[in-house]
Amino acid sequence: MAFAAFSTATAPSTDSVARRRSPVALFLLLPGILYLVLFFLTPLVSLLLTSFQTPREFGDIGQYDYAFRWQNYTEVITTYWPHIVRSFSYALAATFFALVISYPLAYFIGVTARKWPLLQSLMLVLVIAPFFISFLLRTLAWKQLFSDESFVVQSLKALSLLGPEAHVTGTAFSVIFGLTYNFIPFMTLPLYTTLERLDVRYLEAGNDLYASPFQVFRKVTIPLSMPGIVAGTLLTFIPAAGDYINASRDFLGGTGTQMMGNVIEANFLVLQNYPSAAALSIILMTVILVIVSIYVKRSGTEELL
Amino acid sequence: MKLSLGKWLLPVYSGLALLFLMIPIGYTFVYSFNDSLKSNITWRGFTFDKWLNVCNVQNGAVCQAFGNSLFIGAVATVVATTLGTMIAIAIVRYRFKFRSQTSLLLFLPMATPEVVLGAGLAAQFLSLGVPKDMLTIILAHTMFCISFVVVTVKARVASLDPALEEAGRDLYGSAWQVFARITFPLLLPGILAAALLSFALSFDDFIITNFNSGAVTTFPKYIYISAARGIPAEANVLASAVFILALVVVVTVQVSGAAKARRLAKLT
Amino acid sequence: MAVGAFADRGADLELVGIEKRFPGFTAIENLNLTIPAGSFFALLGPSGCGKTTTLRLVAGLEEPTSGRILIGGADVTNQKSFQRPVNTVFQSYALFPHMTVLENVAFGLRRRKIGDPVAKAHEALLLVELDHLAHRKPQQLSGGQQQRVALARAIVNRPALLLLDEPLGALDLKLRRQMQLELKTIQEEVGLTFLHVTHDQEEAMTMADTIAVMNKGRIEQMGEPQQLYELPKTAFVANFLGQSNLFTGPVVSTTSTAIAVDVSGQKIVVPLERAHRISGEVTIGVRPEKLTLHAEEPTYNAGRNTMGPGKVIDVSFSGVSTQYLVAVPGVGTLVVFAQNMAFGPAAHVGAEVWLSWNVEHGFGLDDDPADAPRFEADLDTKTIAQQRRSSLVTELEEA
């Protein structure tokens, strides 16, 4: 979703501009900020409150009272710890694969293809093209392509690369594959924006100072493209950890691949167990915020935020 | 010096990677011509029927959902673009208290998983007793679009030379005239980009919608619900049509931009 | 170059039949050049003359279309940049922004696994007097300091050959002068071979032992700075290296020591050993500071050439000297630089004057006058403005 957030990393610094104090600022800010307070901040608060709710005595399913039932947290952790582990490990794997696949592509578009601007913009259009078609249909297309009767799976079985009883869909592989595929553009775009500004003279200087092409890549190119790597991995990791489409049984997942998103959805919308869904949401968000802040600090790219 | 991965290795790899990105798109497009019955899984022959009679299936349920998505996208885009543009101008041009808190408030929605955004809003609507319908979807979509609008427009405002506005005031323009005749036209490309982005985000959103839609069906929600029993080819038709339209718009913008740059280059 | 060891001294650079073609144009055609070990060699020319391409070929950042490059007698044509015993001080400095000054300087040493890189980097920083800033990031330094770090980063490797790509271009005049002297001192101290590419003729003349003037992918003339200045071989050199007054005319008589040229009816004598062509149509010239202004027609003197009368059309005062533009009918506009020995100008606009110069100061060019257009003084502000603009445009295009 967040495919424009990479531009936060690249927006020019505005600190040099002389800013004025004026009541106009209040007029400009207030409606939007109020909107976010009402529809972003207070929902988080009500999510937090819901996560401590207790079932109403003699009440119907889905009826809860405000309380401080912290056991909701220990209960969801003991029940759903495999989902929690799965969410973060799948997201981590998908982020890793998306980075490995996207970096060379972004390097080619941003550095090698500089001489041909038309090719460059054409390739960029192709990178964002998946955004123009429904996320769900794309994922379903992979499901059909990986179904047991599909050409791909039949060929793999004919070549004995896959056992006769094996499936592709419903496995951890297909879920991670789907997450990787769906978030490649989120990874490629921020990588492209930093690599596009990479001054090749630094690479030449590295070469001049006895660094082999591989050493130049490791010592110069990678560190200089760090803002893009950080932005891209965050834009992939965060939505991937919360995703429940790819892991859904109707898409690429199976019973053994359910992630946190799936159980949040099931608890909230099907079981009407709102406190559990809320507690899981709070856990998901807290873990992500902790990971993000540690990661951003360690990679030395605080200015990204 | 280029990384000597071999002169051909990187271009060939990049071509293959882009091809990989196109596979599901191609699949969706091809299967929009499938002469399918209820579900659209096996190839049964080529037909234009689905393109010509998109709305005939299931009493037009696909088109109904598609129309809902267009309407929600349009309203959410207008509101989010207006609010977001105002914030972007304020952030770049004015000094105010709680600046860093404001930035954090704008950043957080982008760093929050959609499932948390969706569940949070749903929990709030539930505790307030607000029934879920079209309005709650629009409220939700507007919320997550605002941050993206701010990010996009902010970059444009920051690149705008404040001296242009000062010149406008110097030449006897009132505050409103300066905004209407100078600031707004110069920001327009950024605002349009932000609006397109908002619309795309809203149109394709499923996760947040799923939590806040009640009985209303949007296009992605329709696909999600039908996924279990099979998607009709008409859904592929609509998605392909949107894809082609978006591609035409983007390519036109890119090509005309390149042509403009070339003409500028000739002038100097 | 052997990993883990320094070159003990500078090495010869030899370019043999180098040609470099890019799609659409030829940057360098048939370049042959030898730069002796331990010398400070300047490649001087306007932008687009091929000097930067030559430097990049030597550094290994470009491959020649044909020809060979030898360093210290060894053929390095097929070696990659990182394998060559060559270091460059880049025009933009290209200091790695993600490393401290010290890490930048130690970078090459670490890549070559030379022992004790940190101590050696500190030594190099001491040489450029910046050791106290070793732990800063390059962005926190001034332009002059960055330039010195770039120099330290290159010389710490003791390359057989150090390439300087207009490294002083971004500095202001005063700092540039200071850096020119420092560079020259360091070169003499460390005894490396320096190849300096520049479009600044003063810089080249101040620093280099030998200058090659390059134009349109070819070397026009090569020699010691003074020789190049006093006896230019082509109109291009005569005008790129300082200014010149050039005249064209047929050789009317030749003696064993001199030739006489008829310039619009005025007989101008040039010593034979200073004339590159001695018959037919020739172009001859004299430097503006060699001219003397006379308010009255000077009496005949066999040792001096006389020209005039002409009219002073412009006088501009520049502190040390005053520049006069004198229009001589049939000849054109001549430039005269006169030292300000007394207060006030020696002649006013509109005054009728004669010009004279020592016969020994004249020179005869090798150009065929039919090829080269008759010289016009290019000193009016319009031309200067145009040149500035076109150089700015190319600079912008390159960026």
pLDDT for position C4: 46
Higher pLDDT, C350 or B5: C350
pLDDT for position C9: 64
pLDDT for position C332: 86
Please say if the pLDDT value at position A5 is more than 50: no
Q: What integer is the mean pLDDT of B211-223?
A: 91
Do C207 and C146 fall within a single domain?
yes
What residues does each domain of chain B span? 61-232
Higher pLDDT, B76 or B155: B76
Looking at chain B, which subunits does it touch, using at least 3 CB pairs closer than 8 Å as the criterion? Answer: A, C
**Percent of chain C scored above 90 by pLDDT?**
36
Interface of chain C toward chain A, CB-CB under 8 angstroms = 59-61, 80-83, 86-88, 90, 92, 94-98, 107-108, 111-112, 153, 157
Q: Residue C131's pLDDT band (boundaries 50, 70, 90)?
A: very high
Do C191 and C313 fall within a single domain?
no
CB of B168 within 8 A of CB of B185?
no
Question: Is residue C255 packed enough to be buried (19+ CB in 10 Å), middle (13-18) or exposed (0-12)?
Answer: exposed
Do C224 and C235 fall within a single domain?
no
Q: What integer is the mean pLDDT of C193-217?
A: 88
Closest-CA residue of C relative to A299 is: C98
Do C94 and C213 fall within a single domain?
yes
C222-278 pLDDT, tens digit each = 999 999 999 999 989 998 888 899 988 899 989 888 999 998 888 899 999 999 888
Helix or strand or coil: residue B98? coil
Do C254 and C284 fall within a single domain?
yes
Q: Which of C164, C195, C228 is the last residue of a domain?
A: C228
Q: What integer is the mean pLDDT of A38-61?
A: 89
B vs C: CB pairs below 8 A: 5
Structure tokens belonging to residue C79: 């070696």
Which of C79, C86, C98 to mutate against chain A (most A CBs within 10 Å)? Answer: C98
CB of B20 within 8 A of CB of A127?
no
Contact list, B116 vs chain A (CB under 8 Å):
44, 47, 242, 281-282, 284-285
Could you tell me if A212 lies within 8 Å of chain C, comparing CB atoms? yes
A vs C: CB pairs below 8 A: 66
Place of tokens 């800010």: A29
Could you tell me if A162 lies within 8 Å of chain B, comparing CB atoms? no
* Tally of domains in chain C: 2
A266-273: long-range pairs with CB below 8 Å, 24+: A268/B119, A268/B122, A268/B211, A269/B210, A269/B211, A272/A61, A272/A62
CATH number at residue C111: 3.40.50.300
Do C36 and C166 fall within a single domain?
yes
Q: Which of C181, C205, C228 is the last residue of a domain?
A: C228
C180 CB-near residues (< 8 Å, 6+ apart): C168, C203, C206, C207
C296 CB-near residues (< 8 Å, 6+ apart): C354
Q: Which of B124, C52, C220, C222 is nearest to A204 (CA)?
A: C52
First to last CA, chain B: 30
DSSP class of residue C375 equals P
Could you tell me if B223 lies within 8 Å of chain A, comparing CB atoms? yes
Helix or strand or coil: residue C25? strand
pLDDT for position C6: 62
Contact list, C61 vs chain B (CB under 8 Å):
1
Contact list, B262 vs chain C (CB under 8 Å):
none
pLDDT for position C57: 93
Higher pLDDT, C47 or C289: C289
Does residue C1 sit within a domain? Answer: no
Q: Which of C193, C228, C263 is the last residue of a domain?
A: C228
pLDDT for position B231: 83
Interface touch B152/A4, C-beta < 8 Å? yes
Supply the mean pLDDT for chain A.
87
Q: At what angle do helices B219-227 and B233-267 cross, to 10 degrees?
A: 140
Q: What integer is the mean pLDDT of A176-193?
A: 94
Please say if the pLDDT value at position C376 is more than 60: no
Q: What integer is the mean pLDDT of C84-100?
A: 90
Interface touch B268/C81, C-beta < 8 Å? no
Contact list, C88 vs chain A (CB under 8 Å):
204-205, 208
Do C239 and C173 fall within a single domain?
no
Closest-CA residue of B relative to C81 is: B1
Higher pLDDT, A157 or A94: A94
C291 CB-near residues (< 8 Å, 6+ apart): C245, C334, C336, C337, C355, C356, C357
The one-letter amino acid at C5: A
pLDDT for position A107: 95
Q: Which of C275, C6, C245 is nearest to C117 (CA)?
A: C6
Looking at chain C, which subunits does it touch, using at least 3 CB pairs closer than 8 Å as the criterion? Answer: A, B
Does residue C270 sit within a domain? Answer: yes
CB of C212 within 8 A of CB of C41?
yes
Least confident of A234-243, B77-86, C103-112, C359-368: C359-368
C98 CB-near residues (< 8 Å, 6+ apart): A223, A224, A226
CATH number at residue C236: 2.40.50.140
Contact list, B142 vs chain A (CB under 8 Å):
35, 39
B25 CB-near residues (< 8 Å, 6+ apart): A129, A130, A133, A138, A141, B243
Please say if the pLDDT value at position C1 is more than 60: no
Place of tokens 């957030």: A5
Apex A14 CA angle, A11 and A15, nearest 5? 135
Q: What values do phi and psi take at C34, rounded to 5?
A: -125, 130
Peptide bond connecting C309 to the previous residue in cis, omega within 30 degrees of 0: yes
The one-letter amino acid at C35: I
Higher pLDDT, C69 or C217: C69
pLDDT for position A126: 92
Contact list, C80 vs chain B (CB under 8 Å):
1, 4
CB of A128 within 8 A of CB of A188?
no
Q: Is A300 left (phi over 0), alpha (psi -120 to 50) or beta?
A: left
Contact list, C81 vs chain B (CB under 8 Å):
1
Q: Which domains does chain A have, with CATH numbers?
A: 47-304 (1.10.3720.10)
B37-55 pLDDT, tens digit each = 777 777 878 888 788 887 8
| Among candidates A208, A212, A226 on the partner chain, residue whose Cβ is nearest the Cβ of C88 | A208
Integer CA distances (angstroms), B214 to A112, B210, C60, in order? 50, 8, 67
A123-151 pLDDT, tens digit each = 999 998 898 888 899 999 999 898 888 88
| Among candidates A4, A112, A134 on the partner chain, residue whose Cβ is nearest the Cβ of B204 | A134
| Among candidates A209, A213, A226 on the partner chain, residue whose Cβ is nearest the Cβ of C107 | A209
Please say if the pLDDT value at position C382 is more than 70: no
Supply the mean pLDDT for chain C.
85
Min Cα–Cα distance to chain A from B14, Å: 5
Structure tokens belonging to residue C160: 């057989």
Do C242 and C223 fall within a single domain?
no
Do C224 and C255 fall within a single domain?
no
Interface touch C81/A215, C-beta < 8 Å? no
On whether the B61-232 domain is CATH 2.40.50.140, my answer is no
Residue-number span of the structural domain to which C329 is assigned = 231-386
Higher pLDDT, A40 or B96: A40
**Percent of chain A scored above 90 by pLDDT?**
57
| Among candidates B116, B204, B242 on the partner chain, residue whose Cβ is nearest the Cβ of A242 | B116
Q: Residue C190's pLDDT band (boundaries 50, 70, 90)?
A: confident
Min Cα–Cα distance to chain A from B112, Å: 7
Containing C337, the helix (H) or strand (E) segment is strand C332-339
